[in-house]
Structure 1
Amino acid sequence: MRTFLVIWIGQVISIIGSGLTSFALGVWIFQQTGQATPFAITVLFGTLPRILLTPLAGSLADRWNRRWLMILADSGNALVTLVVVFLVMTDSLQVWNIYLVALAGALFAAFQEPAYTASITMLVPKKDLARASGLMQVAQSMEMLVAPLLAGILFGVIGLRGIVLIDFLTYFFAVGALLIVRIPQPPLTTQAEQDGRGRIWRDALFGWQYLRQRRGLFNLLLYFALVNFLLNLASVLTGPLVLSFSTPAVLGAVQTATGFGMLIGSLVLGVWGGPKRRIYGVMGFIGLGSLAVLVIGLRANPFWIAGGFFVFLFSIPIASGLSQAIFQTKVAPDVQGRVFAIRSLISRSIMPLAFLMAGPLADQVFEPLMQAGGLLAESLPGTLIGVGAGRGIGLMFVISGILLMVATGFAFLNPSIRNLEIELPDALPEETLTKPMPEQVPPVTALAED
């Protein structure tokens, strides 16, 4: 676990730095536009590369040295942040600049993620995979817990310029941690040599066929795709929801409560490790999270919203970490880069649609319907959650939560999902492999191949 923890600490510091900039730029966008759509567009640009490039990224994670792939990706993200530093310091920052920055940052993150995830299997014993996944969720929760508080304090002291400069400096911790460790490469199986070392399109096809041949995993991914769509249709509008009736400081407090919930959930998973039947934990905690999403939309009250987000983000890292452990156990280590790439592609496939729909639905449909005198103001929704600014977004949260609960119920009734841990044999031995391939450093020019 020591090598994993060194990498993890470097990533935590870098993630917190990114969170500082993300929070500050999000407030700046709403102050400039006053609309929900720019929020959704920013998230869309920050997600598309992760979806479109996953087959290529997964193939590279299996072809090349994973440590160096992560180093190159983190270095690229550092350069993107440096561009933001320049734009802010020259007072040249525009909303459309942020779209491009989000796009470029997500491009590098698309290559970092499968390499990071696949590396964990080579570093952590099988029995500790769920705990390692919990620690990865802790890293994300630290961004939401620490970054808003720090950003609120630093914004008044050093301003936006100082914040983005700190973000740039934190990347040296992530890259430095990777430079001082060694990540074993998995030995190749005959099947991997024949099916997985061809051209990029063949690697993508291999990952697709691998999952299609394992019905339970494939159906679980289809369920995750629907979950991601419904969650993001609402959660991408968190900033506009809170800022519609309150201040950036309150938004920071809500995000801190959100991060605290994610931290507690991640720590619970890291200590507990999850139930013996992990799929029950996945379904149960997604169900709890969907109820919290519904609650968030019921009141235009920061304490109510913060409480809902606490429960929501307490549940999601546990469900996500347990799901991650299931896939790490059922997928052979030497093909996890390609398979996990297709896994991400499927589970995130309709998220862009949620981002495209969320802003216009909020600004053009639900917000007008829930204003005083709107078509729904005097009906059950208006009576239940109130009318006025932000109540249309609140109704979107309520609808998303209800649909999530229904989808989770149907998924649990599907025997191929419910019984996949029993019906599908493990592909991972009890301990991590002890005779990995020697580490190979790929040439930088290989990035242009295929």
Structure 2
Amino acid sequence: LVSLTGSALSRFAVGLHIYQGSASVTPFALISFFYFLPMVALSPVAGALVDRWDRRRAVLLGDLGAGFSTLLLWLLLAADRAGLSQLRPWHVYATIVIGSVFGALRLPAIHATTALLVPKQHLGRANGLLDLAVAIAQIGAPVASAALLARSGIETVLLIDLATFLFAAATVLLVRFPAPPRTDEGRAAGGSLGKELAYGFSFIGARPGLRGLLLQAAITNLAMGLVTVLITPLVMSFAGVPTLAFIQSVAGAGMLAGGVVMSAWGGPRRRMAGLIAFTFLSGLALLLAALPPSATTVALAAAAFLFCLPPITSAANSIWQLKVPPDVQGRVFAAR
């Protein structure tokens, strides 16, 4: 939760800094592009390493690497303020790429470890708690980041983010990560790194149900990416930074409510039916955003859309965690 909050603070601050400096959507959208590109490109390698390594090591390396990228951006900003060099947009993109490279290790390791720590019947609640942590960060970060930007500048926000990464790394050192049990699938998937890189894709390709689940996730992530990228320029076209921070906090409240519901409920017994139902409801929320823009309309649409995300992601993650053997989850989760 602490690390997520710090990341949300800096993500809001960096995005706003880039948008205000260029007054263009393209440089702002490139932040998301350079954040996701390394994750997509390096996911197969990261998944194979997660299954080979101790998973605590993978999470720790991800935290420290992301913290290094934040420190590097802070140094570049400090040099710009001191007149030693001029900060260019590509400097920001480069630090985002570095953080994303290490993040590619962290995400599959966390999701793969959840199934080892939590009983099967409670996976829905556990995944709901993960979404709840994201929502709490989403609510507080925009308002806090806007206030810090106005009072102390972006450098202070980045230092706070760096401190949260160090806290997260220290916490990981105190937690025992159990080793996954060996399975026949895991033994068959072993061998050269090249074979392990391809295994995640072949595992999914051989199972029609997982292929369909992957297609649903791709559509949901595309919609989420569009919302994430376009909400800032949309709101800034008719309002200012306080309104943007308010709308993002309201949206986070919607996700918080969804996370609370999933943490207490655990999701429907028929996970796939629940996933489809909430995906349909999230589509209706996006239709609301197509109305003439106003702070109220955008806030309600974003809150409704994000309310649906915890039930969707919790159901999907639970299905993956139940259907994929523990000792190949790193490769399969990275491939998806």
Please, what TM-score do these two structures have when normalized by structure 2? 0.95
In structure 2, C-alpha distance between the alignment counterparts of 1:297 and 1:103, rounded to whole Å? 32
Residue 303 in 1 paired to residue 293 in 2? no
* Maintained 8 Å contact 2:259/2:311: yes
SS of corresponding position for 2:331: helix
In structure 2, C-alpha distance between the alignment counterparts of 1:325 and 1:191, rounded to whole Å? 19
In terms of mean alpha carbon deviation, does 32-41 or 227-236 score higher?
Answer: 227-236
Deviation at 1:234, TM superposition (A): 4.6
Q: What is the identity, as a one-letter code, of the residue corresponding to 1:329?
A: L
1:304-383 alignment runs, 5 A limit: 304-343=297-336
In structure 2, C-alpha distance between the alignment counterparts of 1:98 and 1:154, rounded to whole Å? 19
The match for 2:83 is none
Deviation per CA, 1:79-114: give whole Å up to 9, x if none: 111111112222243222221121111111001111
In structure 2, C-alpha distance between the alignment counterparts of 1:174 and 1:342, rounded to whole Å? 26
1:405-424 alignment runs, 5 A limit: none
The match for 2:179 is 185
In structure 1, C-alpha distance between the alignment counterparts of 2:150 and 2:218, rounded to whole Å? 40
In structure 2, C-alpha distance between the alignment counterparts of 1:231 and 1:201, rounded to whole Å? 32
Deviation at 1:296, TM superposition (A): 1.3
Deviation at 1:197, TM superposition (A): 2.2
The match for 1:35 is 24
In structure 1, C-alpha distance between the alignment counterparts of 2:185 and 2:142, rounded to whole Å? 47
Say if 1:20 and 1:230 are closer, same or farther in 2 by CA, change over 3 A.
Answer: closer
The match for 1:113 is 107
* Maintained 8 Å contact 1:39/1:237: no
Deviation at 1:26, TM superposition (A): 1.4
The match for 2:167 is 173
Q: What is the identity, as a one-letter code, of the residue corresponding to 1:121?
A: A
In structure 1, C-alpha distance between the alignment counterparts of 2:174 and 2:68, rounded to whole Å? 21
Deviation per CA, 1:239-286: give whole Å up to 9, x if none: 100001110111111110111111110111011000110111111111
Identity level (%):
38
Deviation per CA, 1:342-378: give whole Å up to 9, x if none: 12xxxxxxxxxxxxxxxxxxxxxxxxxxxxxxxxxxx
Kindly report structure 1 stretches of 4+ aligned residues shifted beyond 4 Å: none
Structure with greater helix percent? 2
User: What runs of 5+ residues in structure 1 fail to find an aligned partner?
Assistant: 1-11, 344-450
> Out of 52, 60, 68, which is 2:57 matched to?
68
Aligned residues between the structures: 331
Q: What is the identity, as a one-letter code, of the residue corresponding to 2:135?
A: S
User: What runs of 5+ residues in structure 2 fail to find an aligned partner?
Assistant: 81-85
The match for 2:225 is 232
The structure with the largest alpha-carbon Rg is 1
Residue 272 in 1 paired to residue 255 in 2? no
The match for 2:275 is 282
Q: What is the identity, as a one-letter code, of the residue corresponding to 1:166?
A: I
The match for 1:440 is none
Residue 138 in 1 paired to residue 129 in 2? no
SS of corresponding position for 1:292: helix
> Out of 39, 49, 52, which is 1:50 matched to?
39
SS of corresponding position for 1:340: helix
Q: What is the identity, as a one-letter code, of the residue corresponding to 1:123?
A: L
SS of corresponding position for 1:293: helix
Q: What is the identity, as a one-letter code, of the residue corresponding to 1:138?
A: L
> Out of 212, 216, 219, which is 1:223 matched to?
216
In structure 1, C-alpha distance between the alignment counterparts of 2:34 and 2:157, rounded to whole Å? 22
Deviation per CA, 1:361-410: give whole Å up to 9, x if none: xxxxxxxxxxxxxxxxxxxxxxxxxxxxxxxxxxxxxxxxxxxxxxxxxx
The match for 2:14 is 25
* Maintained 8 Å contact 1:152/1:252: yes
In structure 2, C-alpha distance between the alignment counterparts of 1:306 and 1:315, rounded to whole Å? 14
Deviation per CA, 1:401-440: give whole Å up to 9, x if none: xxxxxxxxxxxxxxxxxxxxxxxxxxxxxxxxxxxxxxxx
* Maintained 8 Å contact 1:296/1:305: yes
